[in-house]
């Protein structure tokens, strides 16, 4: 399976629960746990904190969010798979831990598409390549040239090995024929902190996590994983031009 194929599942959030859930009469009769496989403050966590209150109102029970960050979301997903199949342990999952993890990580023992039952599709959003303000590159083409001039020196962060953010970063490297060191993190908050502090050079982030920093001018944006301008970040788009480097299709008009 190619990197592009895997990326099709990127950034999609799905509400799911352990397979074969037996809904007893009168369900639910107690609080429900909504597991998020990432640290607080990240994009999936923000969605969960938006969904949970309304879900609780409709079900007539409180919905408690439990953050279990690490291993690209698979720690949280594993807990839901192993939980009693009674509908009281839900997962707000992304394409990473539900579909991609078992294809990229032999340590993952569950099959998200068989061991989890989907409830509803919550939403999707693009990823964005951002860099620290100290980088001299003003656009994606210049960034690729900079990386070629110092192979292995630049670093980029993602939310973990095998996650959509990691795969997007590797696709950029592959298309640009560059060597950029990958630094995995447990969540977006730590990634943003180190990027703003200059400890890492670049990061592939979900747009909602990166947008406040882009708008405040705290990071440089090089492009989003969309073929057209983003409605919430119109300054960023993938260029339709045919530049010298294929990876230069990652472009951002404001950079």
pLDDT of residue 19: 54
- In terms of Cα–Cα distance, which of 14, 20, 32 is closest to 118? 14
Q: Give the count of domains, the chain.
A: 2
Is residue 4's pLDDT more than 50? no
pLDDT in tens, 207-216: 888 989 999 9
Query: Which domain-ending residue is among 124, 154, 182?
Result: 124
Asked if residue 95 and residue 54 are part of one domain, the reply reads yes
Query: Which domain-ending residue is among 124, 150, 185?
Result: 124
Asked if residue 134 and residue 116 are part of one domain, the reply reads no
CA distance 70 to 136: 32
> What radius of gyration, in Å, describes the C-alpha atoms of the chain?
19
Asked if residue 176 and residue 120 are part of one domain, the reply reads no
CA distance 168 to 102: 18
Asked if residue 82 and residue 144 are part of one domain, the reply reads no
At residue 70, the 3 state secondary structure works out as: coil
Mean pLDDT of 124-142: 92
Which residue range(s) make up the domain with 97? Answer: 3-124
Question: Who has greater pLDDT, 24 or 43?
Answer: 43
Asked if residue 37 and residue 154 are part of one domain, the reply reads no
Q: What CATH number did the domain enclosing 53 receive?
A: 3.40.190.150
Is residue 160's pLDDT more than 90? no
pLDDT in tens, 208-251: 889 899 999 999 999 887 666 666 655 555 444 443 433 334 44
Asked if residue 131 and residue 244 are part of one domain, the reply reads yes
pLDDT of residue 246: 38
CA distance 194 to 198: 6
pLDDT in tens, 66-124: 999 888 889 999 999 999 999 999 999 888 898 888 888 889 999 998 999 989 888 88
Residues 6+ apart with CB under 8 A from 228: 237, 238
Asked if residue 227 and residue 138 are part of one domain, the reply reads yes
Asked if residue 214 and residue 100 are part of one domain, the reply reads no
Asked if residue 107 and residue 135 are part of one domain, the reply reads no
pLDDT of residue 144: 95
Q: How confident is the model at residue 26 (pLDDT cuts 50, 70, 90)?
A: confident
Asked if residue 246 and residue 143 are part of one domain, the reply reads yes
CA distance 160 to 4: 18
Query: Which domain-ending residue is among 124, 143, 169?
Result: 124
pLDDT of residue 44: 87
pLDDT of residue 18: 64
Is residue 158's pLDDT more than 80? yes
Give the range among 4-18, 44-58, 171-185, 219-233 with minimum mean pLDDT: 4-18
Asked if residue 142 and residue 114 are part of one domain, the reply reads no
Mean pLDDT of the chain, nearest integer: 82
Is the pTM higher than 0.95? no
- Report percent pLDDT > 70 for the chain: 79
- CA distances to 20, 82, 130 from 87, in Å: 9, 12, 39
* Torsion of Cα atoms, 136 then 175 then 107 then 32, to 10°: 70
The strand pair at 202-206 and 127-132 is best described as antiparallel
Q: What CATH number did the domain enclosing 245 receive?
A: 3.40.190.10
pLDDT of residue 54: 93
Its sign, for the CA torsion 202, 39, 235, 123, is positive
Residue pointed to by tokens 């009469």: 25
Asked if residue 248 and residue 134 are part of one domain, the reply reads yes
């Amino acid at each position: 399976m190619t990197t592009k194929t895997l990326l099709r599942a990127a950034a999609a959030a799905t509400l799911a629960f352990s397979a074969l859930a037996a809904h007893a009469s009168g369900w639910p009769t107690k609080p429900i746990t909504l597991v998020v496989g990432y640290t607080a403050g990240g994009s999936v966590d923000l969605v969960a904190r938006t969904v949970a209150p309304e879900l609780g109102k409709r079900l007539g029970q409180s919905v408690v969010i439990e953050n279990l960050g690490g291993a690209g979301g698979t720690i949280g997903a594993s807990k839901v798979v192993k939980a009693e199949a009674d509908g009281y342990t839900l997962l707000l999952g992304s394409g990473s831990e539900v579909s991609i993890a078992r294809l990229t990580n032999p340590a993952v023992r569950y099959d998200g598409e068989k061991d989890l039952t989907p409830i509803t599709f919550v939403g999707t959003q693009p990823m964005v390549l951002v860099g620290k303000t100290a980088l001299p590159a003003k656009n994606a083409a210049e960034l690729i040239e900079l990386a070629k001039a110092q192979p292995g020196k630049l670093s980029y962060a993602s939310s973990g090995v095998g996650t959509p953010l990691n795969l997007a970063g590797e696709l950029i490297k592959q298309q640009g024929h560059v060597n950029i060191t990958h630094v995995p993190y447990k969540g977006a908050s730590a990634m943003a902190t180190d990027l703003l502090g200059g400890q890492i050079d670049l990061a592939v982030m979900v747009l909602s996590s990166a947008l406040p920093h882009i708008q405040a001018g705290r990071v440089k944006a090089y492009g989003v994983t969309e073929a057209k301008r983003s409605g919430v970040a119109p300054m960023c788009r993938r260029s339709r031009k045919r530049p010298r480097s294929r990876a230069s299709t990652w472009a951002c008009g404001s950079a």
